[in-house]
Structure 1
Amino acid sequence: MSALGELLVGAAILVGLVGIVVQVLPGSILVLGAVLVWAWVTGGTTAWVVFAVAAVAIGLAELGQWVLAGRHMRRAEVPWSTLVWGGLAGVVGFFVIPVVGLFVFFVGAVFLAELLRRRDRTAAWRATLAAVQATGITILVQLLGALVAAGAWGVGLVLT
């Protein structure tokens, strides 16, 4: 692969990592897709082993985020529907108040959904904090998997 191609793949990986943190882009898919393009164009055993490592890392991270966040949500007795409402409101909020609205609307919608469900402000706020923590867990686990994938690509870049 040419130097420009490698630079573009690196930029796509970087955008994917940012997308994981900001939760606007499907960051893990973007990182894996970039590594796949690199492996396809570069070819050879090393490139495909790097892609396999990246795919396993991201696959395990995707599975891990559901297991860890799900366990956290079950402990706090917060249903997934609450996160869905928060996520939908966050998307709307992102456009109403650029970037900051994502967080504000997510927290507000989760609190409102839990307040309607529980009829207790203190319990609703505790559930909201648990939902925010679960979201943080998913971000960290996804980021870890994507960083392993990016590191594998970096090693592959040196070796090829």
Structure 2
Amino acid sequence: MGVWQLLLVGLVMLLGLFGVLVPGVPGRWLVWAAMLWWALHEQSGLAWVLLVGATALLLVDQVVVWLLPPRRIRGVGITRRMIAWAGAGALVGFVLIPVVGAVPGFIGGVYGSERRRLGGHGPAAASTKNVMRAVGTSVLVELFACLLVVGAWLGAVIWG
């Protein structure tokens, strides 16, 4: 697979990661479609194993998100800026502490956004708890699954 195609696959995966954070965008399916595209062009044993693993993981993720309580966005005060901070925090956390760093990074991003908006630790911590109860868990589960798929793909491209 050429460098340009790898960059396009990576770009679609990145778009999928951002799509997880934006309601209405099928982020997990963009990540899966990029993995499928890569596997069809790579056609190696590792590529097929990763595609099957990604498919299974994202299907389990879909079921888990359905089983979580419904999102209660109204009245919590979620803004686009908060979503951007949370997503950036998850990505930074994922890079700094591979895989498990996404969770504290996501929560830290929400807290950072609220700290900036509200000005103090107490109100920011209370608001972060409310946000995590309302929508954070389902978004975090979906984002974590997609980050695992992207991380596996990156590992296969770099070391495979």
- Aligned structure 1 segments of 4 or more residues deviating by more than 2 angstroms: 129-136
Indicate how the Cα distance of structure 1 residues 3 and 157 shifts in structure 2: closer, same or farther if over 3 A, else same. Answer: same
Where does residue 143 of structure 1 map in the other structure? 143
Q: What is the CA–CA distance in structure 2 between the aligned matches of 1:35 and 1:146, rounded to whole Å?
A: 11
> Is 1:25 aligned to 2:25, yes or no?
yes
Where does residue 52 of structure 1 map in the other structure? 52
Alignment of 1:1-160 (within 5 A): 1-69=1-69, 133-160=133-160
Aligned residues: 110
Instruction: State the Cα deviation string for residues 45-70 of structure 1 (Å, max 9, x = none).
Output: 11011111211221111111111235
Q: What is the CA–CA distance in structure 1 between the aligned matches of 2:131 and 2:7, rounded to whole Å?
A: 37
| Structure index of larger Rg | 1
Instruction: State the Cα deviation string for residues 125-160 of structure 1 (Å, max 9, x = none).
Output: xxxx98983432211111011011111111221344
Indicate how the Cα distance of structure 1 residues 46 and 132 shifts in structure 2: closer, same or farther if over 3 A, else same. Answer: closer
Where does residue 111 of structure 1 map in the other structure? none
Q: What is the CA–CA distance in structure 1 between the aligned matches of 2:3 and 2:152, rounded to whole Å?
A: 18
For structure 2, the 5+ residue unaligned runs are: 75-79, 82-128
Q: What is the CA–CA distance in structure 1 between the aligned matches of 2:4 and 2:155, rounded to whole Å?
A: 18
Structure showing the higher helix proportion among its residues: 1
User: What's the TM-score, normalizing by structure 1?
Assistant: 0.59
Q: What is the CA–CA distance in structure 1 between the aligned matches of 2:159 and 2:131, rounded to whole Å?
A: 42
Where does residue 90 of structure 1 map in the other structure? none
User: What's the TM-score, normalizing by structure 2?
Assistant: 0.59
Larger RCO, structures 1/2 (Cα 8 Å, 6+ apart): 1
Structure 1 letter corresponding to 2:59: G
